[in-house]
Amino acid sequence: MSISLVSFLGIQIVSLLVMGMFIFEYWRLCKNRKRMLHSLGDSKERTRVRERRQYTLIILYVLTTLLVLGISSAVYFL
Amino acid sequence: MDSLATLPWKSKASTPIIGKDERLIFESRHHWTKHVPLFCVYALFFPLCLGMIGFTTRMNLSSPELSSFVLFGALITITVVQHWFFHAMLSENATDIILTNKRMFYLVHRLWLVDSMDELVLEKIKMVKVSRHGVVRHLLNFGELSCLFDVDAGKTFHFLPTPQVWARQIESMLNVG
């Protein structure tokens, strides 16, 4: 492969950084929303359902990003 | 500048300040059908790019230059598509439509890009209008809810699940008020 190792690793690192930034911002927004809805008297059951959805989305994001990372690294290095 | 003070809705950033006697009635986000076109693009590009990345191992033997070009292109494309899709999904999940006994909030978030809040005072709403066009909207029970302050001024919420329930609730609160 003639793509340099630096550019390959650069793409992967940027990808991980972007993912981290998005998850951090999403987490912050969810925390704000939880606080706001709690002050409006939201039920615990609904909060739990919402949190489960948040976790699912984050886990999906992390897993698919790692899948891309793993497959492309395997192809590049092997 | 004076229009902002007289408008029945206000747009500003960050989260709203909640009054003591304000309580939540409904909270929703856009209907999942809004994400279908987005998901279709993702479902098309994701396996395609992964397949191309895998295919470069076979191509590498015959033409290494072309193989590295394809690998680089596929890697860039899949990275962009992956983050674009999840950026949109996370943003949609952070967007909220909230109805309290006094106000209605429309919180729009696009991660790191947009952070806005529309606030509608229920007292100033003159009329509520629901529209659901098409078979899909009737089957899946979602549509548009328009809160009108005047003949032609108002705010419309698109892709709202069960808009008729929201409209009925707002109307009942307006009648009580």
Q: Which residues lie below 8 Å from residue B14, measured CB to CB, with a gap of 6+?
A: B115, B117
Which run of H or E residues covers position B45? helix B36-62
Q: Confirm whether A76 is domain-assigned.
A: yes
Q: Is the dihedral of CA B64, B66, B68, B70 positive or negative?
A: negative
Among B23, B83, B109, the residue with its CB nearest the CB of A18 is: B83
Which run of H or E residues covers position B107? strand B103-110
Question: What pLDDT does B41 receive?
Answer: 96
A75 has a chain B CB within 8 A of its CB: yes
Q: Confirm whether A66 is domain-assigned.
A: yes
Q: Which residues lie below 8 Å from residue B53, measured CB to CB, with a gap of 6+?
A: A71, A72, A75, B71, B74, B75, B78
Q: Confirm whether A65 is domain-assigned.
A: yes
Mean per-residue pLDDT for A2-27? 92
pLDDT-based confidence at A2, cuts 50/70/90?
A: low
The residue of chain B with its CA nearest to that of A42 is B24
B61: its two tokens: 């033997």
What ipTM, to 2 d.p.? Answer: 0.93
**Could you tell me which residue, B13 or B89, shows the higher pLDDT?**
B89
Question: What pLDDT does B3 receive?
Answer: 40
A4 has a chain B CB within 8 A of its CB: no
A53 has a chain B CB within 8 A of its CB: yes
Mean per-residue pLDDT for B85-105? 93
Q: Confirm whether A38 is domain-assigned.
A: no
Question: What pLDDT does A44 receive?
Answer: 86
Condensed to tens digits (0 to 9), the pLDDT of residues B96-139 reads 999 999 899 899 999 999 888 888 888 888 889 999 999 999 99
Domain hosting A56: range is 43-78
Q: Which amino acid is at A48?
A: R
Average pLDDT for chain B: 86
Mean per-residue pLDDT for B6-34? 75
A55: its two tokens: 């976790």
Neighboring chain A residues of B76 at a CB cutoff of 8 Å: 11
**The pLDDT of residue B12 is above 80:** no
Which run of H or E residues covers position B59? helix B36-62
The reply to whether residue A40 touches residue B112, judged by beta carbons under 8 angstroms, is no
**The pLDDT of residue B176 is above 80:** no
| Domain count of the fold of chain A | 1
B1: its two tokens: 């500048």
Neighboring chain B residues of A64 at a CB cutoff of 8 Å: 46, 82, 86
Among B23, B68, B83, the residue with its CB nearest the CB of A1 is: B68
Q: Confirm whether A5 is domain-assigned.
A: no
Condensed to tens digits (0 to 9), the pLDDT of residues B147-175 reads 988 766 788 999 999 999 999 999 998 87
Question: What pLDDT does B126 receive?
Answer: 87
Q: Confirm whether A49 is domain-assigned.
A: yes
Mean per-residue pLDDT for A9-26? 96
Question: What pLDDT does B1 receive?
Answer: 35
Question: What pLDDT does A59 receive?
Answer: 97
The reply to whether residue A57 touches residue B96, judged by beta carbons under 8 angstroms, is no
Top-confidence range, B37-41, B56-60, B63-67: B37-41
Q: Confirm whether A56 is domain-assigned.
A: yes
Q: Please, what is the end-to-end C-alpha distance for chain B in angstroms?
A: 30
Condensed to tens digits (0 to 9), the pLDDT of residues A36-78 reads 888 888 888 888 998 999 999 999 999 999 999 999 999 888 7
A55 has a chain B CB within 8 A of its CB: no
The reply to whether residue A15 touches residue B67, judged by beta carbons under 8 angstroms, is no
The reply to whether residue A36 touches residue B18, judged by beta carbons under 8 angstroms, is yes
